[in-house]
Amino acid sequence: MSTAGVAGRRRAGRVAAAVVAGLLAVGTAVFTAPAAGAADTAPTRAAVFTRGADPGPRVVTLTMDADWYTPGDVPRVLQILRDNGITAGFGLTGRYVERYPDQVRAIAAAGHKLINHSYDHPAFTGLTSTGRADQLDRAEAAFRRLGLGTDGWFRAPYRDGYLDDGVRADLASRGYWISYDWTFDTTGYRGAGTEVILDRVRRYTVPGAIVLMHLSSESTDTAALPAVIATLRGMGYGFTDPYRSVTRGAIGLHWAALGGRGSVLGVPRTEERVATTAGTAVQWFAGGRVYWREGTGAHEVHGAIGARFVELGSVTSYLGFPLTDETPTPGRTGAYNHFDGGSLYWTPGTGARSVYGAIRAKWASLGWERGFLGFPVSDEVGVVAGRASQFQGGNVYWSATTGAHEVHGAILSRYLALGGTAGRLGLPVSDEYPVPGGRRSDFRGGWLRWDAATGVVTAGYA
């Protein structure tokens, strides 16, 4: 619910009644529970956060809403928050953003969370899906003209329809996967005195509470803000920020340890959800995803490796769950993630490539990317009678009967010229090995020998 001045307080009785009912609701809808067996796919419904995702700790999140009628004393609010080390959420309508761009820039520059609060504050249950999309898009466009964005976070005007399944579906269809609701409203927008506001704070604060205040010049919330903060601290509460409030458990701790919204993962985009089955979880962030599984813990994927992982099917693919975060290779020439079923390696020149199974084991035995084979430049592919992966320094071939063997250098060039696995030589049955005067590789159908003196590769057939 955003301030709308006198005009806003004269809305239809249906909306007003919904607002009053909402003011008294405390902890009735914490967040939408993840569905068992859910796939690692985009949410079809926005997750509603009436309290923080982890309601156990004695922390609260402060938020302020604003519509276009008056800007509010933004410098004063930001100073109070800064002095108290608090990061808050700001639900702003598109027309507020358009009318008061300097205030919005200041809010964003201070690190506070911007939330799409619609364009002109209508009741969402009274709109069609097209109308809802228009409200979201016009508001987001106002933010983007300032070089800002809301990362797919939304707050319902008047709290109207915040639990409505159709509204939540329409939000998700536009990429708004977090509906950032609130636990109680201080009612400063009604001109409530400080003692009334503090009484509501004492009565309705619960662990994980999301407190709604209003930014308008008519609201008494700004004047009461220092007392609200002091009262909450006197009650034994600390403050968390909106970003952290939508994370929980091992995923939340891991994200925070990586640097939170300042890390490569950035801002949370979804709630924590079941990844595949019970005992697994995933949460999407602006820059990547964090997966958790009982027994292996929480690990992130991001960037080109994350994109390739998702392209392959993420945790439902042969790779399974990540066992590491993305990690720089020695010398920082590339990066990798290890997974249940293999690895993804990346360099700027090769892109992200998967390697797994017996071919990965052979590559590892030869020194990983530090060996003569270097980084993979292809995923594993099917070849005649087997499988193969191409590396910077050669190829590794595999079949169930021959095992995994490497071929490289001049011998590889000659082998490929003779047709590779489709030629008379067939699959390799040995790695390259030294012989008097040169080196040799054996194949199902013969051998190739490199002469050190002449550089000539000679073929022999069985």
Q: How confident is the model over 140-192, as pLDDT tens digits?
A: 999 999 999 999 999 999 999 999 999 999 999 999 999 999 999 999 999 99
CA angle 409, 416, 408 (to 5 degrees): 20
Could you read off the pLDDT of 78-136 as tens digits, one per residue?
999 999 999 999 999 999 999 999 999 999 999 999 999 999 999 999 999 999 999 99
Per-residue model confidence (pLDDT) at position 238: 98
Per-residue model confidence (pLDDT) at position 19: 36
Q: Read off the pLDDT of each residue in 300-307 and give the average, rounded to a whole number.
A: 98
| Position 11 pLDDT exceeds 50 | no
Structural tokens at position 338: 């290890």
User: In b/e form, how buried is each residue of 77-104, taking b as 16+ CB within 10 angstroms?
Assistant: bbebbeeeebbbbbbbbbbbbbbbeebb
Tell me the sheet residues that pair with 4: none
Per-residue model confidence (pLDDT) at position 55: 86
Could you read off the pLDDT of 43-60 as tens digits, one per residue?
999 999 999 999 889 999
Per-residue model confidence (pLDDT) at position 38: 53
Element (H, E) at 355: strand 351-355
Instruction: Specify the residue for token string 């993420």.
Output: 314
Per-residue model confidence (pLDDT) at position 46: 98
Alpha carbon distance, N-terminus to C-terminus of the chain: 82
Any alpha helices (H) in 298-385, and if so which ranges? Answer: 303-312, 357-365
Q: Read off the pLDDT of each residue in 391-407 and give the average, rounded to a whole number.
A: 98
Structural tokens at position 358: 């017996």
Contact in structure between 259 and 298 (CB atoms under 8 Å): no
- Name, in order, each residue with C-beta under 8 angstroms of 86's C-beta and a sequence gap of 6 or more: 62, 229, 239, 241
CA angle 425, 427, 430 (to 5 degrees): 100
| Position 35 pLDDT exceeds 50 | no
Could you read off the pLDDT of 228-241 as tens digits, one per residue?
999 999 999 999 99
Domains detected in the chain: 5-245 (3.20.20.370), 251-343 (no CATH), 356-462 (no CATH)
Q: How crowded is residue 76: how many other Cβ atoms within 10 Å of its Cβ? A: 12
